[in-house]
Amino acid sequence: MTDVIVIGGGLAGLFNAILLNRAGLKVLLIERKTYPFHRVCGEYISNETIPFLKKLDIDLEELNVARINRVEITAVSGTKFSQRLDLGGFGLSRYTFDNYLYKKALAEGVQFMLNTKVEDVRFQDNTFEVLASGETFTAPLVIGSFGKRANLDQKMNRGFFYKRSPFLAVKFHIRADFPADLIQLNNYKDGYCGVSKVDGDRWCMCYLAHRDDLRKYGTLPELEKNVIRKNPYLNKIFEEAEFLLDKPEVINEISFEKKQPVEQHILMSGDTAGMIAPLCGNGMTMAIHSAKILSEKIIENYKAHQFLPDKRSILEQAYTSEWNKKFAGRLWAGRQMQKLFGRNAATDLTLKTLNYLPKMAGFLISKTHGQPFY
């Protein structure tokens, strides 16, 4: 028996574990891999997180982050839109950051089960049973932070899981002659690719593509040759960059459908609760912020190491309300902006319009970001 079981050790799971453990709760985090490891991710974090990270004694200088204060958006035609970012952000690989947080959580007393897959979650008599590796673990609360798409989504019959998504995502780490302070979002038919510096002498390149294009061309290299590299900015990177990973990280069925922050009494956090379009580049920020919100709501309702049945509905309603207040508008804006891109003619027209209306561009960017939080 433990106070809280966290399923999934990405950013949301790790931050929830650290915050709840510091509040005196007994936390078990179950992760199906072993740190450190790579994840499919754009690896950009908005500066709105900095006050909160400082409060947790997370030293970004120690992590050697890349400071990013400019954005460029490009089209296959060669049209480019450029703008300084009012708030800005930083680049940091998940390989580095997740491992750093894991070590911090472990040192502070969070219990981990690594290389362990959760097979099922059951709820009855106000208690959860979590089945993993042939064992059963119990707790009054479970946090779902198992990412964009997982077997548990299917077991829970979550609606988005059965709406087939046409998108796949691919991530590389590269070494390139590319500005360290820039995030570049390069568009092409049916997708886009983000490029920005992360910690150390490396850059993250993460692209979104359509499964029909992959079927048509058969392999990722042929897809890149016939679709992605039609964007001249990306073609230059592919020609000149040094690719650092043995093979790219790939994930299928990336879904931007609306999700619920609470399902079958499981409290969802990070991408498990909702995913912003990668073009908006702020999923890591939302994962961190959602963990802060959820942990605070749990701590408010978890008094003297007891979680009473009448507290559950209060907690679920409070978290859902705050989650929607902070993120529902952001996710909606991301979905709308995504519609402006991915078609060559529409992308070209959008970028030309934004070049004539820079204030509109600033307004759109602001809709995908929040305010600094502590």
- 3-state DSSP call for residue 93? coil
The arithmetic mean of pLDDT across residues 12-35, rounded, is 97
Q: What integer pLDDT is reported at residue 32 of this predicted model?
A: 96
* pLDDT on residue 305: 64
Quick one: average pLDDT of 310-339? Answer: 90
The Cα–Cα gap between 6 and 13 comes to 6
What is the average per-residue pLDDT within 162-180? 93
Q: Are 66 and 196 in contact (CB under 8 A)?
A: yes
Entry pTM: 0.94
Q: Is 305 left (phi over 0), alpha (psi -120 to 50) or beta?
A: left
pLDDT for residue 279 is more than 80:
no
Residue 342: predicted pLDDT: 76
At the top level of CATH, the class of 4-366 is alpha beta
Q: Name the residue with tokens 């997370």.
A: 58
Domain boundaries, the chain: 4-366
Task: Quick: pLDDT tens for 44-89.
Answer: 999 999 999 999 999 999 999 999 999 999 999 999 999 999 899 9
- Between the two ends of the chain, the Cα-to-Cα distance in Å is 31
**Helix residue ranges, H only, 185-308:** 211-217, 220-226, 232-240, 283-301
- pLDDT-derived band at 304 (thresholds 50, 70, 90) equals low
Question: Tokens representing 158?
Answer: 């979550």
Mean pLDDT within 202-217: 96
The fraction of the chain above a pLDDT of 70, given in percent, is: 99
What integer pLDDT is reported at residue 149 of this predicted model?
A: 85
Q: What is the pLDDT of residue 366?
A: 82
User: Does the pLDDT value for residue 361 go beyond 90?
Assistant: no
Q: What is the pLDDT of residue 369?
A: 80
| Residue 38 pLDDT exceeds 80 | yes
Confidence of residue 306 (pLDDT cuts 50, 70, 90): confident
Q: How far apart are CA 185 and CA 195, in angstroms?
A: 7
- For residue 139, pLDDT over 90 is answered with yes
Strand, coil or helix: what is 356? helix
- Averaged pLDDT score across all residues of the chain: 93
Report the amino acid identity of residue 27: V
Q: How far is the C-alpha of 198 from the C-alpha of 127, rounded, in Å?
A: 41
Q: Provide the pLDDT for residue 309.
A: 78
- Binned at pLDDT 50, 70 and 90, residue 169 comes out as very high
Q: What is the pLDDT of residue 258?
A: 85
Mean pLDDT over 263-271 rounds to 96
Q: Left, alpha or beta for 234 (phi > 0: left; psi -120 to 50: alpha)?
A: alpha
